[in-house]
Amino acid sequence: MTSFVFPSIDGGEIDLTQWRGQPVLVVNTASRCGYTPQYEGLQTLYDTYRDQGLVVLAVPSNDFRQELASDEAVKDFCEVNFGLDFPMTTITSVRGGTAHPFYKWLETEAGFTPRWNFNKVLIAPDGSVAATFGSNARPMSHPVINAITAALR
């Protein structure tokens, strides 16, 4: 995987190369979606596996018109309602011509484009795409955990 940089919701940048050698679960998120309660499961997943090297990266997107109006509103919503402490980008496009380069790479590399909010992509420690999951895959479900634990070995 080449280097992909996202603006961080906390200021500065998130460079995916900083996590080379670790599995990274990238999730396109939205605050006003029926799947928004998955934030709780993502935090549990992060809490459970971060000491073993897992990184969870949330990528808020308004591509499906279900995100709040500003990065600040998203950050506040996630902190107040879910106590999130994993990395999060600014509001980012994940599909179509304006998609972030990571998502364009993902489409080319794995034929995967988010079809809705809370699609999950597991990047293996070597930078390859290890697994992709749709919105219905709960963060603490067996398929997601099995893919993560395999990537942590």
Q: What is the domain-level CATH number for residue 146?
A: 3.40.30.10
> Among this protein's residues, is 78 annotated catalytic?
no
Residue from 144, 137, 147 nearest 35 by CA: 137
State phi, psi for 97 to the nearest 5 degrees.
Answer: -65, -25
Radius of gyration of the CA atoms of the chain, in A: 14
Report the C-alpha gap between 109 and 107 in whole angstroms: 6
pLDDT tens figures, 122-139: 999 999 999 999 999 999
pLDDT tens figures, 9-60: 999 999 999 999 999 999 999 999 999 999 999 999 999 999 999 999 999 9
pLDDT score for 2: 66
Q: How confident is the model at residue 148 (pLDDT cuts 50, 70, 90)?
A: very high
Report the C-alpha gap between 34 and 66 in whole angstroms: 9
Give the residue numbers spanning the domain of 96.
5-12+20-152
Structure tokens at 147: 């893919």
pLDDT score for 49: 97
Q: Decide if 62 contacts 99 (C-beta within 8 A).
A: no
1 pLDDT exceeds 80?
Answer: no
Residue of 1, 5, 33, 124 marked catalytic:
33
Q: To the nearest whole number, what is the mean pLDDT of the chain?
A: 95
Half-sphere exposure of 120 (CA within 13 A, CB side): 29
Domain count, the chain: 1
Residue from 63, 70, 6, 8 nearest 33 by CA: 63
Residue from 10, 105, 4, 127 nearest 60 by CA: 10
Confidence (pTM)? 0.96
pLDDT score for 3: 84
